[in-house]
Amino acid sequence: MTKFSDLALDPRVLKAVQEAGYETPTPIQAQAIPHALEGKDVLGIAQTGTGKTASFTLPMITILGKGRARARMPRSLVLCPTRELAAQVAENFDIYAKHSKLSKALLIGGVSFTEQDKLIDRGVDVLIATPGRLLDHFERGKLLLTGVQIMVVDEADRMLDMGFIPDIERIFSLTPFTRQTLFYSATMAPEIERITNTFLTGAVKIEVARQATTSETIEQALIQITPSRKERSFADKRAVLRALIRAEGEACTNAIIFCNRKMDVDVVAKSLKQHGFNAAPIHGDLDQSQRTRTLDGFRDGSLHLLVASDVAARGLDIPAVSHVFNFDVPTHPEDYVHRIGRTGRAGRKGKAYTIAVPHDEKYVVAIEALVKQPIPRGTLPEGFSLEDRPDRSDEARGERSSRSRRGGRDRDDRRREEPKRDEPVVVAAVKVEPPETPAPELREERPARRDERRNRSPERDRRDDRVVVGMGDHVPDFLLRSFRIPSLPTTEAEDEAELVSDLMAEEGEN
């Protein structure tokens, strides 16, 4: 059996690995590290949780052991799709490089540019970044990539899903063609294969597991429900989720609950907290400081349930996650593999539940076609039945409002703020009097007659029949008033012209 001591790593790296408690490399590590140490390009294909981070971090530290970084010119570059994954790589680097005198910088969004600029100006050996923030620094003239010796692209298929491929191609063009490239992905979509053929030279392809396979340590179950009404789907799924968590009992030490949409993440987390569960949301719209606090709480055990969007599907190295709940069936089948891969890591056992409604059938079929096996069907917890649940109209309204999210508030909140139907609506009527305008001294009877005709309106006698749309029976009086803007003094020629017009109109009416 291969050990880390057999992989020709730097003694300082080996010491750090041993102190971290590792002796035997995973298959991806055992196959990728020797080729990386030889300076070859590597194309690694492996499912999540197989130790890909260490497979490029360890040889990188060994290769960069000789040399010195220059200001604004990093010696190596690691690209990650999400902030969480980038932060996870940075933590691994700190663990394995603690006996080496290598510096690093983490460039992610949500953090001040000033502090990141200071690190770059001093010179870094390893630059770990998300594509967007990296290009921001480059376009500001704070960063040069001409000194990159090793470039790593981690979770390339996730980069494709998030639309980062054009950015990746641009970053490749900014680095020297003599660089060494380590390219890792869980799946090989045609677009990713095109990039590897373009930017990798004589790459060694390492595939330690069939593409998009699920770990055998994960017990899977698909819970299929049929809501009584379509509008009850969201509420019924929340009830099933709570029942599943309660049925697991103490076996569910912690869990990640995945939703497809950010707005549903907030609603599900709020619902769980209202029912007494220790839950918190995490998604891309939250501030980075809040996301960091939430993840820290989940890691140290103070947070029991993490409700997440797919931003957390990768990059969370938390080996002790006991359960994963797919509140929504993922629309991309590859995401199913990455979601459930958050549990059953490092040889531990894990459980993954997926809640599906009838319109999810096409997504389930796509997942089963990808993993080449059916997802075992599960049953509702004993004693729980959707038919026995009371018809809670407020819960149904909460579901509809969570889908629309007009104004960012639940419809129930708006209903509480509105007066009841049987309560009178008090409207303060304000009497508006037209300003008095002194009549000109030279006014004759004809302008007075003109003003009299101007004030006359066929609607005047039908004022009580008017209806203001949306006001119901409680229409303020001032809305039914007719207002006249006083006319300014006019010349006699203008008065004459208006009088002729009035007379012609009167004759036409008669």
Question: Is residue 367 one of the residues assigned to a domain?
Answer: yes
Question: Is residue 19 one of the residues assigned to a domain?
Answer: yes
377 and 289 both lie in a single domain:
yes
Question: Is residue 510 one of the residues assigned to a domain?
Answer: no
pLDDT score at 482: 64
Residue 97: pLDDT over 60? yes
Residue that finishes a domain, picked among 382, 417, 452: 417
133 and 252 both lie in a single domain:
no
4 DSSP 8-state letter: G
Question: Is residue 163 one of the residues assigned to a domain?
Answer: yes
Cα dihedral across residues 49, 55, 56, 57: positive or negative? positive
182 and 257 both lie in a single domain:
no
CB atoms under 10 Å from CB of 288, counted, come to 14
89 and 234 both lie in a single domain:
no
Question: Is residue 506 one of the residues assigned to a domain?
Answer: no
3-state helix, strand, coil in the chain (%, to 5): 45, 10, 45
Residue 82: pLDDT over 80? yes
Look up the domain containing 287 and give its range.
218-417
384 and 457 both lie in a single domain:
no
330 and 468 both lie in a single domain:
no
Q: Are 273 and 267 in contact (CB under 8 A)?
A: no
Band of pLDDT at residue 307, cut at 50, 70 and 90:
very high
85 and 143 both lie in a single domain:
yes
147 and 39 both lie in a single domain:
yes
pLDDT score at 470: 56
- How many Å apart are CA 27 and CA 39, to the nearest integer? 19
Residue that finishes a domain, picked among 365, 386, 417: 417
pLDDT score at 484: 60
Residue 136: pLDDT over 70? yes
With 0-12 CB in 10 A as exposed, 13-18 as middle and 19+ as buried, what is 325? buried
Residue 466: pLDDT over 50? yes
**pLDDT per residue as tens digits for the range 217-274:** 899 999 999 987 888 899 999 999 999 999 999 999 999 999 999 899 999 999 999 9
Residue 407: pLDDT over 60? no
pLDDT score at 287: 83
Residue 273 one-letter amino acid? K
Please tell me whether residue 351 adopts helix, strand or coil conformation: strand
> The tokens of 233 are what?
């789907």
pLDDT score at 370: 87
Cα pseudo-dihedral 359, 360, 363, 364, rounded to 10 = -130
Residue 13 one-letter amino acid? V
CATH for 67:
3.40.50.300
Q: Tell me the whole-structure pTM to 2 decimals.
A: 0.63
245 and 136 both lie in a single domain:
no
31 and 126 both lie in a single domain:
yes
65 and 161 both lie in a single domain:
yes
pLDDT score at 427: 42
Number of separate domains in the chain? 3
What is the average pLDDT value for the chain, to the nearest integer? 81
Residue that finishes a domain, picked among 417, 441, 470: 417
- How many Å apart are CA 292 and CA 82, to the nearest integer? 13
